[in-house]
Structure 1
Amino acid sequence: MTWLRAFKEVVRSGLTIEETRLEPLLALRTAAGVAIVIGSVLWLASPSYAAAAALGAYSAGGATFQRTCRPRKVIALAGGAGLALSTFVGYLAAGRLATFLPLLAVWAFVAGMAWAVGSTAGIVAATTVGSMLVTITLPTSAWRALEHAGVIALGGVAQAVLILLFPIRRWGAHRDALADALAAVADYARRLRHDPTAPFDPESLMAARDAAAVTPSQARTRPPVLHGPRGLAERIRPVLAALADPDIGAPAEGPGRDRARELLDAAADVLDTAARSIRRGTPAEVPPESVDALRVDEEHEVLEGSARQAAEQLVELLGEAMEIAATGDDREPAPAPPGPVGAEFLVRPTLFRLVPVVLRAVRRELRRDSPVFRHAVRLAAVAPLGYLLATRLPLGHGYWAPLTSVMVMRPDFHRTFTRAVARLAGTLAGVALATAMVRALGSGTHVCGALAVVAAGLSYTVIRTGYAYSQCFTAAYAVFLLGMAGQAWEQTVPERLVLTLLGGALAMLAYLAFPAWETHRLPGRLADWLAANGRYAAAVFRNYAEPTREHHAAMRRALLASRKAAAAWQESYDRARREPVRPRGLTSREAEEAQEALKGFGRAAMVMENHPPRADRRSVPESKRFAEALEADTARAAADVREHRNPDWKRVKEALHAWDGAAGDRGPVVRRGAELQKRALDDFATAVTRTPLERDVSSAREDQRVRAVVAGEGDESGVAHQGG
């Protein structure tokens, strides 16, 4: 992607309204927490204390809107505590630049490394840096700083108490994750009707697995409906693929294919109904025509062999889904099973037990080529530099510049630049809105306090529709809050605009000075995915050779690792497509072809997983040799991809040849699956195999294609402009 096209994409993304479901009741409850804190502290203390308390309540409330399955009250308490600690520590060092700037750099670095744990931890940690920057406006003594830290923590406590007293859609995130997984499998069934080899994105299943992990206290109160359907979605997906596959399942044409389409359509209806029931917590009725389609007639069933086996499995599994849809969620929570919680549930560590997990994650990212480490270094450099530059300007509130930088910076190029553009646009709109409201209603303490609460509520309402739109009301909230503390809005508005522009520019320049381009990481991500897929496929074939509980457990672990590697590749690939840098060793066309080949490779393994050998059937010993060859070749090919060498499948070919020479016809379905995987590996080798001359030609063609696309977009925009 060219720089011009990248910046066009940045502006477009920064100002795009994201289609999402608004949650006005949650926004109202969180804004009520801000109102209670501001009102009570204004009554009991002073406007400056009220502004500090509002900072804690607003930031802790915003943290509860992050996409996480941890209890919201725990997040509010943790956010308030972190803000209070950073405020107090920052004040102790704020008297001299020689102490404050090093502390700010270290704190910003630690906050940047919090992204090793996840986006929620990284965003909440960034708000603590903002709190430390605001610390410099607090008055006079360590005791007063402790008081301000206490009222900031009170804001988080207030939000947690409101969440406890007025729960809104409890277990809502868990319900949505599970319902999304079932709905994704339903969509997969519909796509298989038209495309028997349609791909499936496992992201929804991964999110459902993450949501299924609970703390010991959550395990005692989780609704029964959230216990089993995730495993149901996991089991149904490979059955659908096996039924639709023209090589192993239903025939490509004829009555068998029509019957498979009928079953797939009925499966989609049942799964959608179950997803609706789980999301709403109420019973739902499956369409009668779908129930009729799932009746298997022993005499007139047209499906045979493995296709019929898949159909019978599908009907049995969908029966469980219909039971879930019919019962809804009208039962009492099931008591926790005896014994350790981990024996029954996926366990999520509590915040205290999360400490060693966090330390291990951070240690893994402490390397120069890590995007998280580079992000932390950029934060550590920009926060003190922005503060130092802003204090040299003839403007007040110099902390706004580094605060802007800290809040817009992300570990990747696109989100950093998008948020910088969105924050500037939102700030412009927000200060204009605040100016108009203050002129119309006045700038008294109580008026500004009320306007701040309204702005906070509107910010929470649109927080998931786009950063620019939430930032509009956040900027207005900041102006109102300063007005409540006695600052003249005529002074704060121009300061806010200039310093926001400075902070956004510093954030973008910092990324360009010390980038972490995902484009350069693509070969490594692709190699990781290939090796993980190879281990998963090998585990499937080992289970055919010796169908034991240990091999089945190994197959499950390999599947989860393969999904994780695929998700990491997809994230890197999506980011790389938006970066203005030339590819190294892997052009975009090669990446697309290799991606499709690996999807086919993983899909073939998934289909084979659905046809395990029954207890009364002989195992397939040839599959063990094939498994060893598959794992060895894919591991070696992964190293070749990293070093930009051409892969080959010598051991896999030899194992297939030996299989053909074996006596008898044991495991024809397994043998056919091995051929499908070999075909996918050949497609992968074709995608990434290039001579040096071919690579040069491919790179030149890639540049020509990009220039043609950019020119075409320019022509289209010109035509649209003339037509308008």
Structure 2
Amino acid sequence: MSWLRALNATARSGLTIQRRRLEPLIAFRGAAGLALVVLLSLDIFGPAVAASSAFGAFQAAIASFQRSWRARPVLALLSGGTLAVSTFLGYLSGAHITLFMALIALWAFLAGLAWAAGPTAGVIAASNVAMMLVTVTLPTSVPAAAGHAAMIATGAVVQAGLIVLFPIRRWGAQRDALADALAAEADYARRLRQDPVAHFDPEPFVTARSAATVTRREARRRPAALHGTRGIAERVRPVLASLADPAIGAAAEGPERDRVRELLAAAGSVLDTAAHAVRHGEPVVIAAPALAVLEAPDNSDVLTGPARRAAARLATLLRDVVETAQGEGTTTDTEPLVRPTLVRMAPVVLRAVGKELHSHDSPVLRHAIRIAVVAAVGYLIGFALPFGHGYWVPLASVMVMRPDFSQTYGRAVARFGGTLVGVAVATTVVQLAHPGPYPSGALAVVCAGLMFLLMRTGYAAGSACVSAYVVFLLGMSGLAVDQTVRDRVLLTLIGGLLAMVAYAVYPAWETPRLRNRLADWLLADGRYAAAVVAHYADPAGARRDDVRDAVLASRTARIAWQEALERAAHEPVRHRGLSRSAAADAEEAMGQLGRAAMLMEAHLPSRSTTPVPAARDVADALLHAVERGARDIRQRRVPHWDEVRENLAAWDGEGVPDQVVRSGAGLLLNTLDQLTAALEEEAPRPRPQPAERP
């Protein structure tokens, strides 16, 4: 993609207003907490202290809206506490520009590294740097600075207290995540009726698993419907796929296929009903026709072999899904997925940060270096310009910068557009109406409430609201009233351009890493397939946990590939070894590889099943082949699978009694060959040798 097309695409994405479900009650609670803090601080301490406490309450509310499964009060307290520390250190060094610039650079660098702990930590840390740039203009002495920092923390405590006292739809996010996974599985069942080899995107189940990870205390308090339903639903998907697949399940045409279509439609109906019940906390009411199809006595007569086993297994699993969704079944989660506390997370975060620091090509490290340099340079530029209040330059830069290209450039455009609208409206109101502290505080609360309400619809709308919020809040304390719309918009434009130039000069392109992402996915899927095949070799001694761990690693690698592919699609760089068509073909082949392993997983033998000893050799050959294939992909060579092909040929010579394991192994080899075909066109061609002179 050319630079012109990339800029055009990112600008459109940044200015796009998305249709999202609004949460007015949560927005009102955040605005009410902010209003409470502002009015009390104004009445007791005055405008300057009120502005500080308002920033703490505002930042805590913003943190509670982030995509995180941790308790919202914890996020609010963490955000407000770190902001209080940050601003106090800024107060101490604010009088010395050199020292303050060094502090800003260090804090911005640490904020960039915070992305190693996840997007939520990265967003909160970047917001702390941005707020610190504004709040350090308020105090005049060290005791005053300590008081302002304490009020910032108090604002966060107020927001956390309101979240605890007035919970809105408790466990609602976890219910939605589980319901979305069940609904996605229902849609998959319906698609299998028309396309027996349809793909399934595992992201809803990844999200549901993250939502199901709770602390020990939360595990004792969560609703019964959230105990075990996800685990059972995860076992339904392989059964659906194996029932529909013509190679392992029912025949492609005839009475078997007709019955399978009926079963898939009934399964979709049951899963949809369970999803609705989980989302709204209602009883599960199964439609009589769907129940009749699933429990029809002639299913065992119409279906044969693996299809019959899959149909019986499907009916049992769906019955368990219904029982657990309404809290009546026996939970399968004997040990919940435990989320460590923030204190126990510290060593994990430090290891993740250390790993990024030792990787010179790390996107997170590059982002940390970029944001540190830009924050310091932006502050220096703003200080040197004659407009005053130059913190608008680094404020804009820090808020728009992200580790990837498309978000940084899209947010820069959205920030400028939103700031243009928000600052124009707010400054016009201030200069025409000259509101006093209380009206200014009320207007700031209204802008913050609109920000909370609209922040998930797009960054442009949120930028307009937050820009107006800052203008009214600083106007309440008597600061920045002399600054014009032109000054503020120009400073914001400089900050956005600075962020865009920084990424162009010191980028972290995802496009050259696509081959590594594909190799990681191949390795994860290959290990998953090898674990499944090895299970057939020793059913009595095999551990199902090995297969489960391999499934989770495969999902993680697949999502990492998809995210990387989406980021690379908007980058203005050449493909460097993996074109769009090759990437699409490789993704199709890898999807079929994971699906073939999933089909075999659906029929994993019980401990009493007769072993297939030759499966061990095939599993070992498969594991060695994908490890070598991953190396070949990284080094731009075409992978080959001769070792797997030879073992399967020897296996055929011995005779394999299990139809599922032999058909599944054949599907695995076919999908690996598809991957080779997808990459052959991208392999570097040898240069022709000059002809020898006679």
TM range (shorter): over 0.9
Q: Secondary structure at the match of 1:106?
A: helix
Which of 645, 650, 654 lines up with 1:658 in the alignment?
650
- Whether 1:420 aligns to 2:412 is yes
Q: Report the residue type matching 1:183 in the other structure.
A: A
Matching of residue 261 in structure 1 with residue 261 in structure 2: yes
Given that 1:86 and 1:131 are in contact with CA atoms closer than 8 Å, whether structure 2 keeps it comes out as no
Contact 1:179 1:276 in 2 (8 A): yes
Please give the TM-score of this superposition, normalised by the length of structure 1: 0.92
One-letter amino acid of the structure 2 residue matched with residue 687 of structure 1: A
Q: CA deviation at 1:50?
A: 0.5
Check whether the contact 1:274–1:324 (CA below 8 A) recurs between aligned residues: no
Please tell me whether residue 270 in structure 1 is matched to residue 270 in structure 2: yes
Secondary structure in 1 matching 2:486: helix
Distance in 2 separating the partners of 1:353 and 1:68: 17
TM-score normalised by L of structure 2: 0.96
Residue 661 of structure 2: aligned partner? 670
Determine the structure 2 residue equivalent to 1:282.
282
Partners of 1:278 and 1:75 in 2: CA distance: 26
Out of 499, 505, 511, the position equivalent to 1:513 is: 505
AA in 1 matched with 2:170: R
Residues of 2 paired with 1:466 and 1:552: CA distance? 43
Indicate the larger mover: 162-171 or 608-617.
Answer: 608-617
- Alignment partner, residue 297 of structure 1: 297
Alpha carbons of structure 1 residues 350 and 671: separation in structure 2 relative to 1, 3 Å: same
Identify the residue that residue 636 of structure 2 maps to in structure 1: 644
Are 1:479 and 1:492, in contact at CA under 8 Å, matched by a contact in 2?
A: no
Shift of 1:262: 1.1
Partner amino acid for 1:626?
A: V
Q: Does 1:100 align with 2:91?
A: no
* Separation (CA, whole Å) in 1 of partners of 2:642 and 2:620: 12
Q: Which amino acid aligns with 2:595?
A: R
Cα distance in 2, alignment partners of residues 16 and 549 from structure 1: 55
The answer as to whether partners of 2:430 and 2:475 remain within 8 angstroms in 1 is no
C-alpha separation between the residues in 1 aligned to 2:310 and 2:430? 67
Counterpart in the other structure of 2:690: none
Deviations 1:334-376 (A, max 9, x none): 9x99xxxx97111101111110010111122121111111100
Corresponding letter in the other structure for 1:15: L
Aligned to 1:714: none
**1:194-593 matches, cutoff 5 A:** 194-298=194-298, 301-324=301-324, 327=326, 344-366=335-357, 367-435=359-427, 437-438=429-430, 442-487=434-479, 489=481, 491-548=483-540, 550-593=542-585
Deviation at 1:303, TM superposition (A): 1.4
SS at match of 2:456: coil
Output the CA distance in 1 between the equivalents of 2:436 and 2:166: 32
Secondary structure of 1:238 counterpart: helix
Q: CA deviation at 1:549?
A: 6.2
- Report SS of the residue matched to 1:581: coil
Q: Structure 2: any 5+ residue segments left out of the alignment?
A: 688-694
Bigger Cα displacement from structure 2, 423-432 vs 619-628: 423-432
Match of 1:707 in 2: none
Which residue of 1 is the match for residue 606 of structure 2?
A: 614
- Deviation of 1:591 after TM superposition, in Å, equals 0.8
Q: Which amino acid aligns with 2:553?
A: A
Q: 1:17 touches 1:465 (CA, 8 Å); kept in 2?
A: yes
Q: How far, CA to CA, are the matches of 2:430 and 2:282 in structure 1?
A: 47
Residues 278 and 328 in structure 1, CA contact (< 8 A), matched pair in contact too: no
1:175: Cα distance to partner? 1.0
Tell me the distance in 1 between the aligned counterparts of 2:213 and 2:180.
Answer: 16
Query: Which SS does the other structure have where 1:239 is aligned?
Result: helix
Tell me which residue corresponds to 2:73. 73
- Partner residue, 1:170: 170
Within 5 Å, which residues of 2 pair with 1:44-193?
44-193=44-193
- Once the two structures are superposed, what CA deviation does each residue of 1:135-180 show, in whole Å capped at 9, x if it has no partner? 4313322111111100011111010000011010111111111111
Residues 21 and 247 of structure 1, relative CA distance in 2, 3 Å threshold: same
Structure 1 residue 294: Cα displacement: 1.4
Shift in CA distance, 35/693, structure 1 to aligned 2, threshold 3 Å: closer
- Corresponding letter in the other structure for 1:176: D
User: Against the structure 1 CA distance between its residues 398 and 548, is the aligned structure 2 distance closer, same or farther, given a 3 Å change threshold?
Assistant: farther
| Mean Cα deviation higher: 236-245 or 139-148 | 139-148
Match of 1:679 among 670, 682, 685: 670
* 8 Å CA contact retained: 2:582, 2:679: yes
Alpha-carbon distance change, 40 to 266 in structure 1, aligned in 2, over 3 angstroms: same
Deviates more, 1:430-439 or 1:569-578: 430-439
Deviation of 1:100 after TM superposition, in Å, equals: 1.3
Aligned pairs, how many?
A: 686
- Aligned position for 2:621: 629
| Contact 2:63/2:75 (<8 A) preserved | yes
- Is 2:656–2:662's contact at 8 Å kept on the other side of the alignment? no
Q: Which residue of 1 aligns with 2:692?
A: none
- Alpha-carbon separation, structure 2, partners of 1:91 and 1:610: 61
Alpha-carbon shift at residue 636 of structure 1 (Å): 0.3
Partners of 1:687 and 1:148 in 2: how far apart? 61
- Structure 1 residue 401: deviation in Å? 0.8
Where does residue 20 of structure 1 map in the other structure? 20
User: Structure 1, unaligned stretches of length 5 or more?
Assistant: 697-724
Q: Give the deviation of 1:198 after TM superposition.
A: 0.8
User: What is the identity, as a one-letter code, of the residue corresponding to 1:565?
Assistant: A
Q: Which string of whole-angstrom CA distances, capped at 9 and with x for unpartnered residues, describes residues 195-237 of structure 1?
A: 1111111111111111111112212211111111110221011
Cα shift at 1:694? 6.0
Residues 300 and 309 (structure 1 numbering): CA distance in 2 closer, same or farther, change over 3 Å? Answer: closer
Going from structure 1 to structure 2, the CA distance change for 1:492 and 1:56 (only over 3 Å counts) comes to farther
CA contact (8 A) 1:33 1:162 kept: yes
Residues in 1 aligned to 2:233 and 2:685: alpha-carbon distance in whole angstroms: 44
Amino acid at match of 2:361: D
- CA 1:81–1:623 in 2, change beyond 3 Å: closer, same or farther? same
Aligned partners of 1:299 and 1:194: how far apart in 2?
20
Q: Matches of 1:436 and 1:88 in 2, distance apart?
A: 32
SS at match of 2:611: coil
The one-letter amino acid of 2:255's match is P
Report the AA paired with residue 86 of structure 2.
S
Contact 2:636 2:684 survives alignment (8 Å): no
Is 1:7 the counterpart of 2:7? The answer is yes
- Cα distance 1:492–1:69, how it changes in 2: closer, same or farther (>3 A)? farther
C-alpha spacing 1:328/1:546, structure 2 compared with 1 (3 Å)? closer
